[in-house]
Amino acid sequence: MKTRIIISLIVVVCVALLSTVSGVNSAEYDYEVKAKKMSFGWKVVGDTLAVKMSAKTEGWVGIGFNPSKKMKDANFVLGYVKKGEAKIIDEFGNEPTKHTSDKKLGGTVDATLVGGTEEGGITTIEFTMPLKSADKYDPAIDVNGETIVLLAYGPSRDSFKTKHKYRTALKVNLSTGASEAVKK
């Protein structure tokens, strides 16, 4: 009996440790908002934001945080799944209708891919990013304030060069989950 309890305890400790080292459990997000054609799920874990974005496309899905004008100054992460393999890019809105990779601008790649799937014409990408990285092309996110979240997806082609088929903007409080559409 005693041995069984000890074994159970060891199993519990191992599972707890494993979930710590593997980071965020991708199945667990605290909040989700559904735009008409896309969804954005997230969880704040310390100083990291874990994101799940999903849309009906076999091309890219993307998210942008806090633009100043249209797409300008937003911190973007785009991802697609090609032949079963997910890929993400970390970009910055260097013009109102243009984004360029942080690295090309002299910054760093700070988004970390967790995983991605393309099933039944739906692409889902999961990644984590620091709320405040050292890169000036990743403006800090205040989870207690208002965050403008841009959501978009491209046509069904695995290319980051294609323009969005759909895009929208939301005003979100990342710590409470409150959200509303940004009115034009």
Of 18-26, 136-144, 156-164, 171-179, which segment contacts ligand HEM by CB under 6 A? 156-164
Q: How many positions of this chain bind ligand HEM (CB under 6 A)?
A: 16
For 130-150, the DSSP string reads ESS-S-TTS----TTS-EEEE
Of 2-10, 14-22, 108-116, 161-169, which segment contacts ligand HEM by CB under 6 A? 161-169
Q: Which of residues 39-78 bind ligand HEM (CB under 6 A)?
A: 62-64, 70-71, 76, 78
Bridge-based pairing state of the strands 112-119 and 61-65: unpaired
Return d(Cα 153, Cα 167) in angstroms, integer: 7
Question: For tokens 């945080």, what's the residue?
Answer: 65
Counting contacts by CB under 6 A, is residue 150 touching ligand HEM?
A: yes
| Residues at the interface with ligand HEM (CB under 6 A) | 62-64, 70-71, 76, 78, 97, 150-152, 160, 163-164, 167, 169
